[in-house]
Amino acid sequence: MAKSYALKSEIIVYRNILSWAVLFLLILMSASIAMAEETKLAITGNIKSEHGAIYFSPGDMAASKPVVIVTSSPWTTGKTRFRGVFLRDILDKVEADGTVLKAMAKDGYTVEIPISDATDYDVIIAYKMDGEWLEEDVYAPFWIIYPYDTDDELAQEKYYGRSIWQLTQLIVE
Ligand SMILES: Nc1nc2c(c(=O)[nH]1)N[C@H]1C(S)=C(S)[C@@H](COP(=O)(O)O)O[C@H]1N2
Ligand SMILES: [Mo]
């Protein structure tokens, strides 16, 4: 009688350990799913879309024809390789119809970019820098980059200000 009681409580202890282990695994799994979820860029406003915003993850962008800009910039030392896609190609893809882009970043920064910049210059939406994906909470998911070195006109505050990093939203107006 006493023996079977001890056995029973031992089973309960094991069962408890097992349920804690399962719970721990579930927490671990949901944490890694949350980490794998990339921040995306939402394009809204005057675009062709049945259901509102069109979203692009860095992976989605990387599936399009890549463009590389090798340039110096106020934020990097020496020449940096930025990889991305032409802003004009993305605007074409979503059938953007307007004159200005209201760009917003994860850090709260906002700036207006004339759509004419996309055709006047080889502006890119960058997702990689020197071969690495842009870093989360620094520049990710996207960074608007102008070819500052190839056009003297671009190496000025006006265009640096439009070089928004942590870009998460573009509203076409
Ligand atoms: N997400 C984000 N992008 C940004 C900014 C910012 O604060 N946040 N500053 C802008 C401005 S006003 C300029 S001039 C350039 C350079 O900013 P810095 O001199 O602070 O590096 O980046 C632009 N892009
Ligand atoms: Mo600025």
Shared domain for 44 and 116, answered yes or no, is yes
Shared domain for 33 and 48, answered yes or no, is no
Token code pair at residue 152:
């003297």
Q: 3-class DSSP state for residue 14?
A: helix
Ligand 1 atom at shortest distance from the alpha carbon of 105 = 1
Token code pair at residue 6:
């001890």
Mean pLDDT of 43-72: 96
* C-beta of residue 129 within 8 angstroms of C-beta of residue 81: yes
Shared domain for 17 and 45, answered yes or no, is no
Q: Which of 21-30, 66-75, 97-106, 135-144 has the lowest mean pLDDT?
A: 21-30
Burial (CB count <10 Å: 0-12, 13-18, 19+), residue 142: buried
* Residue 2: pLDDT band with limits 50, 70, 90: low
* C-alpha dist (Å) from residue 6 to 10, 11, 12, 14, 123: 6, 9, 10, 12, 73
Token code pair at residue 156:
């000025």
pLDDT, tens digit, for every residue of 79-130? 999 999 999 999 999 999 999 999 999 999 999 999 999 999 999 999 999 9
Shared domain for 133 and 48, answered yes or no, is yes
At residue 1, the pLDDT reads 55
Q: Is the CB of 73 under 6 A from ligand 1?
A: no
Shared domain for 92 and 20, answered yes or no, is no
* Residue 20: pLDDT band with limits 50, 70, 90: confident
At residue 17, the pLDDT reads 78
Residue nearest atom 14 of ligand 1, based on CA coordinates: 161
User: Which CATH number belongs to the domain containing residue 116 in this structure?
Assistant: 3.90.420.10
Shared domain for 82 and 165, answered yes or no, is yes
| Gap from CA of 38 to ligand 1 centroid (Å) | 22
Total tally of structural domains belonging to the chain: 2
Ligand that comes closest to the CA of residue 159 = 1
Shared domain for 74 and 123, answered yes or no, is yes
Mean pLDDT of 24-40: 75
Q: Is the CB of 107 under 6 A from ligand 1?
A: yes
Q: Is the CB of 56 under 6 A from ligand 1?
A: no
Shared domain for 69 and 1, answered yes or no, is no
Q: Is the CB of 14 under 6 A from ligand 1?
A: no
The model carries a pTM of: 0.82
Higher pLDDT, 151 or 84: 84
Higher pLDDT, 86 or 34: 86
Q: Per-residue DSSP letters for 69-136?
A: EEEEETTEEEEEEEEEEEHHHHHHHTT--SSEEEEEETTS-EEEEETHHHHHS--EEEEEETTEEPPT
% of residues, the chain, pLDDT over 90: 76
Tokens 């006047």 identify what position? 120
- What is the span of the domain harbouring residue 108? 40-172
At residue 92, the pLDDT reads 98
Residue to mutate (ligand 1; options 77, 112, 162, 163; most atoms within 8 A of CB): 163
